[in-house]
Amino acid sequence: MIILFGGEKGGTGKTTIATNVATWLANYGKDVVLVDTDKQGTASRWVARRNEYYPDHPKIHISRQTGNVFQAVRDLATRYEEVVIDAGGHDSEELRTAMVACDKLYVPLRASQPDIETTVHVSELVKLAKSFNPSINSYALISQAPTNPFVTERQEAEEVLSELEELVMAKQFIRDRKAYRDVMADGLGVVEVSGKGRAEMQLLCQEIYGEELLNAEVT
């Protein structure tokens, strides 16, 4: 499956979630390639740290692609079991062509007005991509949600997002946890360390990769 993490807002957690999903897949024994289409190269540097610090951990392959990535992504999908694409936080040729190449798009968003506003245009891009790729499934995914149970921003955001035509609300959401920043610096994923992030990432991956993986245990 080809899965894309993209959107039109910077800093929403795209690279964090892409690297963590790739880690979960690798730990589940999948042959996974992470496609870094962002010129900032954050995902590529994360893989470089992983290879340097943890050479014996499950391997995650990396491929850097820019411009029209459609053909490269489809080629990678013939060589690897799973393709995870990380796109930069703006409207770009990379984002648009990756949307046409992918099976599933997740748009991570913080539960704040500036992030939510961008989804209107993302939804239009999805509509456009669907004229070339009608089978794409597209979701909004709340990221960096406050851990304080009294903060209702997430529920409010979910109500607004549920009105969007082209984006379905993901059931699972990702909370704001220091663990995500720590593993990013270390070249790891939250499923490789103890803590609450591990369980929520497991649930997100089960939602993405479907029923057959519901009982999957990370090694």
Ligand X SMILES: Nc1ncnc2c1ncn2[C@@H]1O[C@H](COP(=O)(O)OP(=O)(O)OP(=O)(O)O)[C@@H](O)[C@H]1O
Which residue among 15, 97, 138, 144 contacts Mg ion (CB under 5 A)? 15
Residues near 11 by Cβ (< 8 Å), separated by ≥ 6?
89
Window 104 to 143, contacts with ligand X (CB under 6 A): 143
Which of 31, 66 has the CB closer to ligand X? 66
Stretch that binds Mg ion, among 41-49, 153-161, 163-171, 204-212 (CB under 5 A): 41-49
Nearest distance from residue 5's CB to Mg ion, in Å? 8
Q: Of all residues in this chain, which one has the CB nearest to ligand X in the complex? A: 89
Distance CA 15, CA 3 (A): 13
Residue 35 as a binder of ligand X (CB under 6 A): the answer is no
Stretch that binds ligand X, among 52-60, 61-69, 118-126, 170-178 (CB under 6 A): 170-178
Nearest distance from residue 86's CB to Mg ion, in Å? 6
Q: Which two tokens stand for residue 109?
A: 């968003």
The DSSP bridge pattern shows strands 82-86 and 32-36 to be: parallel
Residue 170 as a binder of ligand X (CB under 6 A): the answer is no
Smallest Cα–Cα separation from 111: which of 19, 173, 168?
173
144: left (phi over 0), alpha (psi -120 to 50) or beta: left
Strand-pair partners of 35: 63, 85
Length of the chain: 219
Which of 15, 23 has the CB closer to ligand X? 15
H helices of 32-112, where?
A: 42-53, 70-79, 93-101
Which of 42, 44 has the CB closer to Mg ion? 42
Nearest distance from residue 131's CB to Mg ion, in Å? 27
214 SS3 class? coil
Residue 16 as a binder of ligand X (CB under 6 A): the answer is yes
Smallest Cα–Cα separation from 110: which of 86, 85, 146, 72?
146
Window 174 to 193, contacts with ligand X (CB under 6 A): 174, 176-177, 180-181, 184
Site string for ligand X, 81-110 (x = CB under 6 A): -------xx---------------------
Half-sphere exposure at residue 131, Cβ-oriented, CA atoms within 13 angstroms: 5
Chain positions contacting Mg ion, by CB under 5 A: 14-15, 42
Chain positions contacting ligand X, by CB under 6 A: 10-16, 38, 42, 88-89, 143-144, 174, 176-177, 180-181, 184
